Amino acid sequence: MVSPFGTVLIANRGEIAVRVIRACRDLGLRSVAVYSESDRGALHVRLADAAVEIGPASPSESYLNLERIIGAAQEAGADAIHPGYGFLSENPLLAEACLAKGITFIGPPAEAMRAMGDKVRARQRMQEAGVPVVPGTDAIVDESAALAAAREIGFPVLVKASAGGGGIGMRAAHDEEELRAAITSCQESAQRFFGDPRVFLERLVTDPRHIEIQVLADSRGNTIHLGERECSIQRRHQKLVEECPSTAIRPDTRQEMGQAAIRAAQAVGYVNAGTVEFIESRGTFYFLEMNTRLQVEHPVTELVTGIDLVVAQIKVALGEPLPWRQEQISWRGWAIECRINAEDPWHDFQPTPGRVTAYHQPSGPGVRVDSSLAGTGMVSPFYDSMIAKLIVHGDSRDQAASRGRRALREYLIRGIITNIPFHAALLEDPDFLQGRLTTEFIANHPDLLETAGEWRDRQPQNLAHNSGQAQHVAAIAAAIAAAK
């Protein structure tokens, strides 16, 4: 039996912490923010009903410190924890610690996290549940076994971390020489980032799209899907632009993928919001992984379905049944999200932390901005470079893209360089506008940087132009942080 709660601690920072605080306020719940030393003046700290400092700027000593998160919840009298995304959000130890302390975890059971967190184990579970998976292997034990498996699967192949996600460590190999190097590289990355050097192989799907399905499940056995999101616009396996729906998915395919996602969730006893990711090519799709948390790109689904996913998460955690049946879910219009990052596109997208000296975010019909900024302030060098999400909605994809271009022209961020011009170039690109997308889109469109530079030069008020200035600001920010 789920116990009701009245105070939610948000174990995160930035725009997602702000998003959860707003959902709590909509539901009449008290919110508690946590913050590191470098986030004392952050927007999420100012918006929450209470705030607890949890340590130095380093994530390992603050936002990733499980004991301090639980201690903060106890200190603030929080009887629930929402993990957001990133940090501890997919760590089953947090869910277990909440259970041990009588705190409601607003997320899936620890067992479901573990089942989907191990990619090899997840592949096996999905095959048993009748969910299509890319031809591949279990965890490989040595190089000779990998070479034999690759010959059987057929080159090219992908080498992936068994315990990983987000594309970290993933390497493609087109022959045996590349495979040897890819295994070594992936194993080293897997050990460094996940503490687990195991890797496995999958066939490399050509001309792939990255399509994900949003699912919701309650504690009473009800599971529904909210359709697909197109996430193919990526750079080094990190998403930049997402949209809902996808130009590649017909209604019958949406139904087929949605039912596969539901089977995937039910196979591991999933509860709360989650995302099942697929690779799609020429009408065929395969299971990739399941993200056992809220996604960065959840707003595009919210705008098209009209369902507040964060409120739904909290209500499920309160023990309420889902108020929708699958046949009640409908999709209206089109939504596109651009991740606004403090990065320099003309210098290999290096992070550009520093002080924002002027800030104005766009508005108007069909425009939503989820941001960690509400004015001037520091962008910390210690955390992810994403500072906002621009989400636009229209009756059609063309209208959504047009509103996106309008909104990007209205953005004003001075003091640091951002990727706003790169997004503007994307939303003007003929192939993008025609929906001709694959995960190699950015690599296959090197002219985007030139177009972004031309757009930047036409919009001098929008951002600092000189990358040397951005590097200077970043150096100052790092020096200030190191002196604290």
Q: How far is CA 181 from CA 74, 119, 191, 218, 252, in A?
A: 48, 21, 16, 44, 41
**Using CA atoms, how far apart are residues 173 and 305, in angstroms rounded to an integer?**
40
d(CA 458, CA 478): 31
Q: Do residues 269 and 212 touch, judged by C-beta distance below 8 A? A: no
- 293 is a catalytic site residue: yes
Residue type, 163: A
C-alpha distances (whole Å) from 93 to each of 32, 67, 70 are 21, 10, 11
Which of 343, 290, 298 is CA-nearest to residue 126?
290
Please state, in angstroms and as integers, the Cα–Cα distance from residue 436 to each residue in 3, 39, 332, 370, 401, following that order. Answer: 48, 41, 22, 27, 14
Structure tokens at 340: 């606004």
Q: Which of 30, 293, 368, 403 is catalytic?
A: 293
Q: Which residues make beta-bridge pairs with 369?
A: 390
Look at strands 171-173 and 199-203 and give their pairing: unpaired
Q: Which residues are catalytic?
A: 293
